[in-house]
Structure 1
């Protein structure tokens, strides 16, 4: 039956930004898996939309899983590259990029307003060391990042999936660490932070047990927040509510 004669077929959705981040960039090209993130839909402001329309072709990329990225070409230099998974509205990412211009940050998220906000902050701060990726970070790591290509990996305040039946959706699992270890060069730092105590304990357990990572803390515990990780608005709200924030810094060996 042709599309015109099939009344039940939904018309193809026109992307909000035809030249910007796509709703499902990898499509059906890669097997589906348990998602460790929950896409959030919220209103894109005029400023965020303008940043996406102007800057996505320059500083954005969709995670389609169809090519291996040349990170030197992507950033236009050979500085070390740190991957940040889940950057929210991008304020902390922009601050870290500004404080350390000699490190490139490849920042991944699926939240369109956050993508636009980070692009806007990068332009205002003249941060040429930031690139914004849209889509599934697992596909990015597995299909698009070469072995030993990354100088660091940051996972700040990932979704804790607090219900027990959802724990399998948590990002920091042995299988994820197996993949991350192949993309991080020896001596690279995997830095996690969370304000959800049960998730922090799980992170510490699985990282400690993994043979390719070693805790930077000699006592084998959590680390104090390092000076290079800014205190985010989200984190501040949690602290005001009495949450305890845990940082974990592990070396890839």
Structure 2
């Protein structure tokens, strides 16, 4: 596939998980070796098309901020491939636990689907929850779809609530629609509320401000870190959320200039 066509395919992709989007974007951008100047325009278009996908902003920020963008692409691909968040989460969930998640949290489900001892309650979120449950059941996972009116009852019966970040700023995170309600209910009922921040989700303040100023945030939930009792990331597990998140990429403002779509 021609690199430009590949980039158009990635830009128009909907419903793909962040890791796949990063890999496809890196592969497409690497095809522009004959036209390095096109990388800037392509990176801007990608984040405009996927305005709430933190790992894509992370990748594009590294690429545009690097002396050698092609080395940066390879480094990012390797880093996201070796992300230890899945293993840390898989090992942290207690045996035979009832777990509540929201929508289709890729990292969380990749971590927990193979456990076999867990019961997953998946809160519906714009159709993603239904699709996730169907997929889990096909894998012989004990999974139940939860409609929004059932959230309070389910939260009270679960052992742990796990919310996955689409992107994160210094003190807030973007999550699938419905996540704020689940996290807030967990907080007031003193349930463990865990945040999963996979590789590439934590952005510097300038990029975070640009991301959250767009209309796309109206389709997801903005959740303060104060509602969480634990964060699980590539750095391991931490129960100290008193300090702002440290960004995983440079604040490459070149990424923020708008380009024609």
TM-score tier after normalising by the smaller chain length? 0.3 to 0.5
Higher helix share: 2
Q: TM-score, normalised by structure 1?
A: 0.35
Q: TM-score, normalised by structure 2?
A: 0.34
